[in-house]
Amino acid sequence: MNEMTRVSAQPAYSDAASKALARAPKLFIGGEWVESTHDRTLPVIDPSTGREIGRFVDASDADVDRAVAAARQAFDDGRWTGLPPIVRESMIHKLADLIERHADEFAELEAIDNGKPKTIAAALDIPAAVGMLHYMAGWTTKLGGETMAPMAAPNGAFHAYVRREPAGVAAQIVPWNFPMIMATLKIAPALAAGCTLVLKPAEQTSVTALRLADLVNEAGFPAGVINIITGNGHTAGDRLVRHPDVDKIAFTGSTEIGKLINKNATDTLKRVTLELGGKSPVVVLPDVDVAATAGGAASAIFFNAGQVCVAGSRIYAHRDIFDKLIEGVAEAAKGWTVGPSLDPATRMGPLVSDEQHARVMDYIDQGKKAGASIVTGGDAPSHEGYFVSPTIMVDVKPEMSVVREEIFGPVVVAQRFDDLDEVAREANNTSYGLAASVWTRDVSAMHKMCAELKAGTVWGNCHMMIDPALPFGGFKQSGLGREQARQGVEAYTELKTVIIAL
Ligand code: NAI
Ligand code: MG
């Protein structure tokens, strides 16, 4: 695709989506839609066109305080934790069912707001959000403590046990790349653990979180258990992070902001989990089926236009197969049809924002200036909307910014290697440690590499397989703590040790 290629026009929105976009800017606090205390709003932008299509509230400090107060009261008066676990479980299932009932509308809104293809939002994002709620709902009736005996006391002198209690009020700050998946990844375990919460979606993508808020009362949640507010990170987000009545922060986003949040949460010593950036390696050994692996490596970087924390953004291929593999990835890139989010032919939509588009194009430029060669892509194929072509760069060196930094766009850098020790060293030569994949049919090399790679998730012969039942999180500067699975619910709890002399 070259500069002259124009992507197709964004099809018309459905009536349901238009109605949702036309809603008055309000916040969901204490089970009600409330007005902000000031009149500052932010635009909803369709990244396929660059046009403003709605407005939402940029929450004030007073709005944030009100949301936290609602969550605090709902936690403290026991209207959530006091309910039988089975009742709480069924409400979470009900919320999932309601989202599913409106799945088509959610998929369309997600596509319009974020830019991802509606076909993919419908096949993946919305079902995954529903699945996250169902999976976590089950923990509500299964979490518990344990009984233990002190080691230094005579047997039977004490009755000692460990209770698992909810952490309290959770503030949850999420990014724009998978708005519904991120929202449910945060909401679901908090609810299962017995916490109440305030969720703040990203300023680029607030539409589906607000639509989700419409369903909270219908699902039966008591007022104040789930509060959803919109606004800027450096104002509303920061207020949440520093708020004395918030007990726990869960954040997904950039490593830079994750570090800042961790610092700002220290004064009140909040419990913090962080899911941050990555620069995940795709390590390809010489014995692979090159054609199949090339398709996998292309999906690892081009899916969601590369705006994925675990995107396979560094390919390391063995010298013997390097050229053939890169040829295969370039061939596969042609199948990632770039277009507007509502066009059924689109496989890769625009980037989320003008800002992200500029960032990614700047990285491509930095790569070129530093001596990298572009195998395919490197251009912005339309002047309307935030499109970038699938891009492959070779002739890169370990110290280049395109190799070291998270680009968060459809841009992959590829390097050759000769032996396993060398590739393990290079793959680990990064401040990140979120994910990695290894491609080989050699069982022994597979397990050896999986042990060597310093990352929270390592895949073999696949990439990006993420499941609510499996823990997810980062080594090194890719995060703190784990989400999903039992560990993800436990992150919303405190342990209380009870020791009674008999
Ligand atoms: P960001 O980290 O600034 O935004 C994520 C969330 O944090 C948003 O909800 C935002 O409102 C909030 N936030 C921002 N500043 C805050 C503060 N001081 N206190 C509390 N909350 C705050 O990410 P941004 O700027 O949208 O994207 C920049 C880069 O971050 C991307 O290019 C990408 O490299 C990385 N990123 C990584 C993500 C991941 O999934 N790991 C997701 C999104 C971005
Ligand atoms: Mg948007």
Report pLDDT digits (tens) over 312-359.
Answer: 999 999 999 999 999 999 999 999 999 999 999 999 999 999 999 999
Residue nearest to atom 10 of ligand 1 (CA): 233
Q: Which residue has the higher pLDDT, 8 or 459?
A: 459
Q: Which atom of ligand 1 is nearest to the CA of 204?
A: 26
* Residue-level pLDDT at 6: 58
What pLDDT does 217 receive?
98
Name which residue sits closest to atom 8 of ligand 1, judged by CA. Answer: 202
With 0-12 / 13-18 / 19 or more C-beta atoms within 10 angstroms meaning exposed / middle / buried, residue 89 is buried
Q: What is the pLDDT of residues 421-451, one digit of tens each?
A: 999 999 999 999 999 999 999 999 999 999 9
From ligand 2's centre to the CA of 25, what distance in Å?
A: 15
Q: How far is the CA of 96 from the centre of ligand 2 (A)?
A: 23
Task: Looking at 50-125, list the stretches that DSSP marks H as alpha helix, in order from N- to C-terminal side.
Answer: 61-76, 85-101, 103-114, 118-120
Q: What percent of the chain has pLDDT over 70?
A: 99
Q: Which of 89, 108, 203, 275 is catalytic?
A: 275
Residue nearest to atom 35 of ligand 1 (CA): 254
Cα of 251 vs centre of ligand 1, distance in Å, is: 9
Average pLDDT value for the chain = 97
For ligand 1, atom 29, the nearest C-alpha belongs to 254
Task: Work out which ligand 1 atom sits closest to the CA atom of 201.
Answer: 9
Nearest CA to ligand 1 atom 43: 253
Question: Which residues does ligand 1 sit against, CB inside 6 Å?
Answer: 173-177, 200, 202-203, 233-234, 237-238, 241, 252-254, 257, 260-261, 276-277, 309, 356, 359, 406, 408
Cβ-contact 276, 434 below 8 angstroms: yes
Nearest to 460, CA basis, from 476, 471, 447:
447
User: Distance, CA 191 to ligand 2 centroid (Å)?
Assistant: 27
Which ligand does the CA of 206 lie closest to? 2
**What's residue 3's pLDDT?**
43
**The pLDDT of residue 5 is above 60:** no
- Band (pLDDT 50/70/90 cuts) for residue 308 is very high
Residue 181 C-alpha to ligand 1 middle, in angstroms? 16
Average pLDDT over residues 241-258: 98
pLDDT band at 233 (very low <50, low <70, confident <90, very high): very high
Instruction: Provide φ and ψ at 28, rounded to 5°.
Output: -100, 100
The residue among 235 and 383 whose pLDDT is bigger is 235
Q: Which of 309, 406, 452, 490 is catalytic?
A: 309
Q: Tell me the CA–centroid distance for residue 501 and ligand 1, in Å.
A: 50
Do the strands 280-284 and 435-439 form a parallel or antiparallel pair, or are they unpaired? parallel
Alpha carbons 485 and 442: distance in angstroms, whole number: 30
Quote the CA–CA distance of 109 and 104 in Å, as a whole number: 9
Backbone angles phi, psi at 335, to 5 degrees: -80, -10
Alpha carbon 421 to its chain centroid, in Å, reads 32
Q: How much is the average pLDDT of 279-302? A: 98
Active site residue 309: yes
How far is residue 47's CA from residue 221's CA, in Å, rounded to a whole number?
34
Residues with CB in 5 Å of ion ligand 2: 45, 113
pLDDT beyond 90 at 292: yes
